[in-house]
Structure 1
Amino acid sequence: MAVESSTLPEELFEEILLRLPPDDPACLFRASLVCKAWGYAVSRPGFHRRLHELHQSPPVIGFLHDSDEEHIPDFIPTTASSFSLAASDRRLSRALDYRHRRALFLSDSEGQDTQELLMWEPVTSAQQHIPMPVAYNDIYANVVHTTAAVFCGVDGCDHRDCLGGHFRVLFVLSVEDEDSDDDEDAMWACVFSSETGTWGELTSLHHRWHMCFTFFSSVLVEWSQLYFMADDGFILEYDLARHNLTVFNPPNYLWNYGDDRYNIMLAEDGGLGVNEVMGSHLRLWAREVSDSTNARWVLSRVIYMVNLLPIGALVDAETRVQVLGFAEGANVILVTTVARLFTIELQSERTRKVCDDHGFANLIPIVSFYTPVPRGEHKDRSSKPSEAAGPRGALGEEKIVDQARQFINSGSNVTKDEDFVNSFECVSHAI
């Protein structure tokens, strides 16, 4: 007779679950359905943080995009198995950003001829409607374009388990300035805090051309600067501490509206980076800042796509590659070429085909370890191991980790203990 999987020591089956493939969300989801104990283990407070400690960088599990046909953001998985997120509000009109386990959309307000921002947690399906700043409604007729970024609002947070806490939103407007004699437009920005439920003061900057933000999302550098790349290649910086705006050029820049050679990213040192498409290869640049007024672009690396992409992806040496997104936290870019979409891990240069290209514009990568939502019937047992056994229960920590690793590497034959065998078989059937 099979022994119930719940008889397996909690410390051991948690270590086993932690070692399931992190880039395949379906594994943890299916394992959570095996029994209440396993469902609790993967959804309890702290499990997500332990995934970070063990695997370091979270995976890209998919991306949001603007559907060409219905202009509704949709989710496309980048994982090996079929996977989908819970449906978000179908009134959404444009996906803007994703960061710290939260997605941000520009949405049509229900029953009103106005717009609003919507923060959505893909894993929990929790969402919060955010009214536009008063200034937006006052100058709506002169607004050329808008964009926004979402980020954690908790001071001192290490962003390994951001979910359900306070967040902030930076909202940026490109506004036609009718009072300017120099045909200049204005860039306006302000920050929303979910803690206070209010918008901060406006920051403004005059710029000589319209700045639109159709193709690229933002990049957060060192928790203090947010960057946006405009369609014409200009880079907009917002300093979260000083609340000021700055505009500057990417490397080797010659103004050309609609120039899609560039996309912003994080450099290897954590600062601002830019990737520049040159035919079938990619130049990676890093911005070196010596003081508040002196900065330069330094070429750090060249990636030759012909060495990474499968045969047929590049028809010839002149085939264009376009970078459509950068996944913060995973150091992955999304590129298209000859009607195909690929992910490229910049550190390992591992490449994976995701899907055919469907005319994508701005891609918003979803970067997260996917852990199922806590179920109401589970009690919090995270602080109740046997006191006599020490902080990790009856089994020593090193022994627990070693046995879990053997299970994942070798299967159920590593031990004759019936509890272990049946529990491993239960995992196998679940996934």
Structure 2
Amino acid sequence: MTLNKGNRIVDCRHGLVLFIRRRPRRRLLVWDPVARDQRRLIVPPELDNDQMLMFNGAVLRPASGQGHFQVALIAHARLSNHTRVFACLYSSETGIWSKINSLQLQSYMAMPEPSTLIGNSFCWLLKVPPDLQDVILEFDLDRQSLTVTELPPQVKARPFKLRIVPTEDGGLGIIHLSTFQGQLWKREPGSVWVHDGAIEFEELRSACKGDRYPLIVGFSEDSNAILVQTNSGVFMVYLRSMEFKKISNMGDFHLHYPFACFYPGAPDA
């Protein structure tokens, strides 16, 4: 597929890749590389104007399957000092966008990392001034509602040192990377955060050259693995087994969007 310069990848899940094009006209592109299929989506008119900025999105195939997909779009008003965030959901089954939901915030800074799917909710990281504390923006696909969850006060992460990850039981969790150690946290009922253990990356340290501390540049939901950028390249670190493998020699910083596509096996003869 040939991409225009204005297309920016924002998400990759369930064998689909989502792009946002901001200019000359706002469009979303859903690409299925295996099926060689492309679907272009027209942005809701309320968000398709110079006063609005689409800053992130997400894509999935619903559990019902049947070849359908859903796309979430996140935007904010350019002149509002980033105090209100807007979200809506598209269904390829109906070809219709949902009504636009919004949430008032004191202020925030959008981050470029893609979403993490937790249960049936898309989750993104935002930073809140003045101390740039991280919070989680959650878009519940069932209720089509937006909520914000504050992180533990102990977590003060620099850019690309934090990632939203599912817990072992599928709940909301985070990993906070500090040098070659990762701290795991999980949210319990009542929005209470509990420390969920630490991960040592000593074997990864020995495989790395130079003194750059690792940065989290991606997350594979299918493998439950973070992608870590170092001077020596990019490594995939599996959070359950703590095994790792090198997937690239790239030393320059780039966000990564792991692609995976699974098809059911053929029935027994």
Pairwise TM-score range, normalised by the shorter structure: 0.7 to 0.9
**What is the match of residue 218 of structure 1?**
115
- Alpha-carbon distance in 1 for matches of 2:125, 2:207: 31
Between Structure 1 and Structure 2, whose CA radius of gyration is higher? 1
Alignment map for 1:416-431 (pairs within 5 Å): none
Match of 2:151 among 240, 244, 250: 250
- Alpha-carbon distance in 2 for matches of 1:265, 1:331: 8
- Alpha-carbon distance in 1 for matches of 2:209, 2:149: 32
Match of 1:351 among 244, 247, 254: 244
Structure 1 residue 351 displacement after superposition: 0.9
Structure 1 residue 325 displacement after superposition: 1.2
Identity percentage over the alignment?
Answer: 28
Asked whether the 8 Å contact 2:229–2:251 carries over to 1, the reply is no
- Alpha-carbon distance in 1 for matches of 2:257, 2:105: 27
Counterpart of 1:103 in 2: which secondary structure? strand
Measured against aligned partners, the alpha-carbon deviations of 1:140-194 in whole angstroms (never above 9, x if no partner) come to: 3343x510011124xx53xxxx5x711110100122454xxxx661100001111
CA 1:177/1:205 → structure 2, altered by over 3 Å: closer, same or farther? farther
Structure 1 residue 326 displacement after superposition: 1.1
**What is the match of residue 209 of structure 1?**
107
Structure 1 residue 359 displacement after superposition: 3.0
Matched residue type, 2:216: V
Matched residue type, 1:90: L
Q: Does 1:132 align with 2:132?
A: no
Match of 2:206 among 298, 306, 311: 311
- Alpha-carbon distance in 2 for matches of 1:208, 1:255: 19
Q: Does 1:146 align with 2:55?
A: yes
- Alpha-carbon distance in 2 for matches of 1:208, 1:260: 23
Asked whether the 8 Å contact 1:326–1:334 carries over to 2, the reply is yes
| TM-score normalised by length of structure 1 | 0.56
Match of 2:92 among 176, 191, 194: 194
Matched residue type, 1:325: G
Matched residue type, 1:304: E
Structure 1 residue 213 displacement after superposition: 2.8
Gaps of 5+ in 1: 1-87, 372-381, 384-391, 394-431
Counterpart of 1:311 in 2: which secondary structure? helix
**What is the match of residue 301 of structure 1?**
197
Q: Does 1:107 align with 2:2?
A: no
Gaps of 5+ in 2: none
The structure showing larger relative contact order (alpha-carbon pairs under 8 Å, at least 6 residues apart) is 1
Asked whether the 8 Å contact 1:123–1:370 carries over to 2, the reply is no
Alignment map for 1:406-417 (pairs within 5 Å): none
- Alpha-carbon distance in 2 for matches of 1:255, 1:349: 24
**What is the match of residue 325 of structure 1?**
218
Structure 1 residue 264 displacement after superposition: 0.9
Counterpart of 1:347 in 2: which secondary structure? coil
Structure 1 residue 304 displacement after superposition: 1.1
Match of 2:142 among 241, 244, 261: 241
Measured against aligned partners, the alpha-carbon deviations of 1:345-391 in whole angstroms (never above 9, x if no partner) come to: 122222111112353343211123489xxxxxxxxxx78xxxxxxxx
Asked whether the 8 Å contact 2:126–2:137 carries over to 1, the reply is yes
Alignment map for 1:4-403 (pairs within 5 Å): 88-91=1-4, 93-107=7-21, 113-138=24-49, 140-143=50-53, 145-153=54-62, 156-157=63-64, 165-176=67-78, 178=80, 185-214=83-112, 216-222=113-119, 224-230=120-126, 233-252=134-153, 259-288=159-188, 290=189, 294-306=190-202, 308-309=203-204, 311-313=206-208, 315=210, 319-369=212-262, 392-393=268-269
Measured against aligned partners, the alpha-carbon deviations of 1:229-271 in whole angstroms (never above 9, x if no partner) come to: 1355321001112221111222335778x63321111111111
Question: Comparing both structures, which one devotes a greater share of its residues to strand?
Answer: 2
Measured against aligned partners, the alpha-carbon deviations of 1:112-160 in whole angstroms (never above 9, x if no partner) come to: x21211001121121100111111123x3343x510011124xx53xxx
- Alpha-carbon distance in 2 for matches of 1:338, 1:121: 32
Structure 1 residue 338 displacement after superposition: 2.1
Question: Comparing both structures, which one devotes a greater share of its residues to helix?
Answer: 1
Counterpart of 1:365 in 2: which secondary structure? coil
Counterpart of 1:309 in 2: which secondary structure? helix
* Aligned positions, number: 262
